Copies of this chain bind each other. A is one copy, B any other.
Amino acid sequence: RINQERLWASLMEMAKIGATKKGGCNRLAGTDLDKQARDLFVSWCEEAGCDVYIDKIGNIFARRAGDDNHAPAVATGSHLDTQPTGGKFDGVFGVLAGVEVLRTLHENNIQTPTAMEFSVWTNEEGSRFQPAMQGSGVYAGRFDLATELNKTDANGIRLGDELKRIGYLGEEEIGSRPIGAFFEAHIEQGPILEDEHKAIGVVRLGQGIRWYNVEVNGRESHSGTTPMHLRQDAMVPASLIIAELEQIALRHENGLGTTGFMQVYPNSRNTIPGKVSFSAELRNPSSDTLLTMHQELISFCETLARDRNLDIKVDPFWYFAPVEFSASDDVKAATQLLGYSHMDIYSGAGHDACYMADLVPTGMIFIPCENGISHNEIEYSSPEQCAAGANVLLHSMLQASER
């Protein structure tokens, strides 16, 4: 069993980096705070006897040798970057559950049959740079390395430059770690485990995600002198699309539709906006339903552009297909061994494990979080809930190593 107090103390120590007034964290990918969090992780892993490798997209791998160092390692990991209004647990819990597994093995001098690797993936959140799960997506070969290093944030700063600046643009070739199985522990980020009074969610599926950049191009003109029928207002059509995203979601079982990001140009109250750029997101556990939702969005935008004689660009730059986790039964077996209450569940969020599932048998372990709230500074899971997840992670990894 892992050490609950030590895990909690590590979570609280990590949470100081980028701590916000409301008790959360704002630690965007590639920032100085991201560097501090990474440095702390690396120092903890080195203290526990690991060698550390950084790859060309900034993913970190801390390796603990096993009996047979030619056999593929069993790996775990998650991310240390957060949303601007992030909590102390999203991502961090998975990384530190890994560190806790490592420390438990280390202090008990446990020799595992295979090596074990403890990882941190670059920019999982997809908040500052898009898409999400960028480091694991590159690792799994879903995204091109050079393209992703070239991605810029809203201020035009390149991811590659930021990684270099903070000292995490590494030398390891992409996809080169000798990994044979992957497990990720994470907070659920939704309300179901809490509602159902279950300690552990055995994650069967990661739902599908579609991300869009939408740009409405109109013409700037005076809001006080331009009659309604002569306007080329970019703002009203943007609003209609945002409202329609909600309608699309409501029309489909388990559908979700969201706009979280918007930029208005020139953003002056008496100038009719000439350009509005915003994000659109659709999610569904069924790829068929998600496709229908996608088609509805596209056709709504096309009709709107025609009706208003405006240029509306919809760039569907990221599609993440629903993914099944083939090592869920290992997670379930470990949960049962430990005697925790549990249920099968699907993940609403994308996770690094979703891309690792392309490469190796992968399993995900969810723990409940208070009121299902995440991407919010008040996000909370208790020390006991965290310990349960870390114990399941430990035993899932041990079982896989022994096989």
Contacts and interface: CB of A to CB of B under 8 A. Distances in A.
A83 interface: yes
Contacts of A328: none
A349 to B, nearest CB: 4
Interface residues of A, number: 70
A310 to B, nearest CB: 14
A330 interface: no
Given A189-B222, A219-B376, A225-B188, A272 B258 contact: yes
Contacts of A390: none
A211 interface: yes
Interface in A224-279: 224-228, 230, 233, 235-236, 238-240, 242-243, 245-246, 249-250, 255-262, 264-274, 279
B236 A246 contact: yes
A375 to B, nearest CB: 4
Contact of A130 (B236, B269, B273): B269
A31 interface: no
B126 A270 contact: yes
A127 interface: yes
Q: How many monomers of this protein are in the complex?
A: 2
Contacts of A84: 266-268, 271
Contacts of A348: 222, 224-226
A32 interface: no
B223 A235 contact: no
A262 B262 CA distance: 8
B274 A85 contact: yes
Interface string A49-68: 00000000000000000000
A312 to B, nearest CB: 15
Contact of A267 (B130, B190, B207, B261): B261
Contacts of A274: 85, 376
